[in-house]
Structure 1
C-alpha cells in the first residue's frame, strides 16, 4: 500500500482508481486533519428545486446509495453514512424490514423541508439550529434517534436560544434533555436567591 502526504485535494475517482495504488485489500485508509479557519452560511436559505445529491460521501458502488422519497420529493443519500448516524434508519435499510434492499425508500409523516434540515445537519452541519427549526429538529432527531443532533439541539437551547424558560422546559421534558432542565432550574433558583 502506498503512503502519501497530500498538501492538496485529491479527487475521489483518483483515490479509488486501482491503478493509482491507494487501494489495498479493497480498502483505502484516509487519515486527515482539518483546521477550521472560518465558516460561512446564510441562515434559512435552502435550495428548493436543486438536486440534493449526498452520494458524494459514498463509495461509487450503487449498493451504498438510496433514494429517500418524501411526498413528491426524492433525495439521493449515502445509506451507509446515514445509517451511522441513525439506528432507526440503519434498521430500516439493513435489517429485516420491507425497506431493506430497495433503491427507493419512503419516509412517511415528515415535512420535506424539515427532513432536509435534518439531513443538512447530519451530512454537513451547514444548516444552523434556530429557534424556528429547534422543534422539528428535536422531533426528527428523536424519532430517528440521531443522538448527536439531540445533544447539539440541547446545547443550542442552553446557550443560544431566545425561547422562554417555559418553552425550554417543555422541550426538555418532551425530549428528555436533562442538562437543559438542570440549566433552567439552576438559573431559576439563582434568580430567586
Structure 2
C-alpha cells in the first residue's frame, strides 16, 4: 500500500548508491545474492533467538534489494535479474516466519503457518497477474521500474518488512502480529483477485 509513495523518497538515494556500485564494476545480480545472504543470516539469527542481529540482517537485506534495482537501471535490466530478485525475495519472506516458529514452536508455529498461508495466497495472485499482464503487454511504473507488472495491494514489501522489524523488536507479540498481518494479506489477495478479474475480463 505504501510502496508507491515511498519510491520518490528512497529512489534518489538508492540511485546514487547504485551508480557508485556500477562504477566499481559490481553487477545487480551480485547485489541480489549478497542481499539473499543477509536474508538467510536474518532467519538463522532469529531462529537462534539473536533478534537484534536478525533485525540488522533484515535491514541489510532490504538495502540490497533496493540497490540491485538501482544498479540494474544503470547497467540494463535482464530477465535473469528480474527472476532472481522476485524468487529470492519470496524465499526470504517465507524464511522469517519459519524462523520465528523454530525459535518458539509452542507459541509461534500455528501463527507462522497462518502467515505463510497468507503469503502463499498473496504471492499467487501477484505472480499469476504478472504473467497475464505480460501476455497483454500491460506495464506500469507506479511501484518504480520493475521487471514485473503487478497490482498494488494492502500488503506489499514495505508493510511486510515493517512487520518483520516489529516482530524482531517484540518477539512475544509474534502471534498477534502474524495473525493480524495474515488477515491483511488475505484481504490484499482478495482485492488483487477482484482487480485482476476486472482488468483481464
What TM-score do you get using the length of structure 2 for normalisation?
Answer: 0.27
Which structure's residues are more often strand, by fraction?
A: 1
Which structure ranks higher in relative contact order (CA pairs < 8 Å, sequence separation ≥ 6)?
2
What TM-score do you get using the length of structure 1 for normalisation?
Answer: 0.28
Which structure's residues are more often helix, by fraction?
A: 2
